[in-house]
């Protein structure tokens, strides 16, 4: 079924915006990392915040443009719920990092095969998600009263444990922002396992179907040759 003008417009926008947004996402991640971990002087810190806000404004424009171009707007909002939350809560800086992950997640489109996309998810998106969540939780927690995630190394350990839904309980967030990130990280961990499982199963099924098709073609060729030999034998 041919795509409509609206679908074509959305796909065209996404195709041209994917790489620039991914580059901006990496730049934003770098700026945010320096802001949280770099202990910048007040003047330089303000410059970083201004640049970060400009990049964030571009993210907002991209979301609004895709929403306007989308034909099924309710479905668009449902499928981009996390991105919408990150845009609607800009005062929670850590939530912005999920938009970074989403922007870089679009890089999976460059994988032309299923195995290539799995490699991108496992080798790029998953480690990035762990780092981003650790950075966000550290930003939200390390100065909070009663917090026990006061070092970035502790935040990294917490993120690994949380995304695996292990939950040792040695480190845990105490702020609303930190707990919200924890919930999203656990959901993301389950989603990653599901995506990888389905992708691997699909890859094996496609391979099995390919092998069966080849065997069927080979069997048909052999049967055709036998039939030809039999017919020739009748006329000899």
The pLDDT tens digits of the residues spanning 128-159 come to: 888 888 988 998 888 889 889 999 999 999 99
Spans of all domains in the chain: 1-110, 111-203
Percent of the chain beyond pLDDT 70? 66
Q: What is the mean pLDDT of the chain?
A: 75
Q: What is the residue whose two structure tokens read 């992950």? A: 101
Instruction: Pull the structure tokens for residue 164.
Output: 């695996």
Distances (CA, A) of 18 to 90, 105, 141: 22, 9, 32
Euclidean distance between CA atoms 55 and 195, whole angstroms: 30
The dihedral sign for the CA sequence 43, 45, 51, 54: negative
CA distances from residue 132 to 83, 90, 137, 222 in whole angstroms, order as listed: 14, 16, 9, 58
Q: Which DSSP category does 95 fall into? A: G
C-beta of residue 32 within 8 angstroms of C-beta of residue 46:
no
| CATH topology (fold) of 111-203 | Helix Hairpins (1.10.287)
The CA distance from 36 to 144, in Å, is 14
Q: Is the pLDDT of residue 171 over 80?
A: yes
DSSP string, 162-197: HHTT---SSS---SHHHHHHHHHHHHHHHHHHHHHH
| Predicted structure pTM score | 0.68
Report d(CA 222, CA 216) in Å as an integer.
10
For 77-123, how does the pLDDT look when each residue is reduced to its tens digit (9 = 90+)? 887 776 777 677 655 666 666 666 666 665 655 555 666 666 676 77
Q: How far from 105 is each of 3, 46, 80, 120, 192, CA to CA, in Å?
A: 24, 29, 13, 9, 12
List of residues 6+ apart from 58 with CB closer than 8 A:
21, 24
N residues, the chain: 236
Instruction: Tell which residue, 12, 14, 55, has the closest CA to residue 32.
Output: 55
Cα gap 173→186, rounded to integer Å:
13
Radius of gyration of the chain (CA): 25
């Amino acid at each position: 079924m041919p795509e409509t003008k609206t679908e074509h417009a959305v796909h065209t926008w996404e195709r041209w915006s994917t790489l620039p947004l991914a580059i901006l996402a990496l730049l934003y991640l770098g700026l945010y990392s320096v802001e949280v971990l770099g202990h910048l002087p007040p003047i330089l810190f303000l410059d970083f915040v201004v640049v970060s806000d400009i990049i964030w404004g571009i993210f907002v424009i991209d979301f609004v443009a895709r929403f306007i171009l989308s034909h099924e707007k309710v479905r668009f909002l449902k499928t981009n719920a996390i991105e919408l939350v990150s845009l609607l809560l800009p005062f929670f800086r850590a939530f912005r990092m999920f938009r970074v992950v989403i922007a870089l997640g679009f890089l999976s489109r460059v994988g032309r095969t299923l195995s290539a996309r799995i490699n991108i998810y496992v080798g790029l998106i998953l480690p990035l998600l762990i780092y981003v969540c650790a950075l966000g939780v550290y930003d939200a927690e390390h100065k909070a009263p009663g917090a026990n995630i006061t070092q970035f190394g502790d935040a990294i350990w917490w993120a690994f444990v949380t995304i695996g839904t292990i939950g040792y309980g040695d480190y845990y967030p105490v702020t609303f922002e930190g707990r919200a990130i924890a919930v999203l990280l656990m959901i993301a961990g389950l989603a990653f396992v599901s995506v990888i499982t389905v992708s691997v199963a699909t890859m094996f099924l496609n391979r099995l179907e390919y092998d069966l098709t080849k065997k069927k073609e080979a069997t048909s060729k052999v049967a055709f040759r036998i039939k030809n030999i039999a017919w020739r034998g009748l006329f000899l």
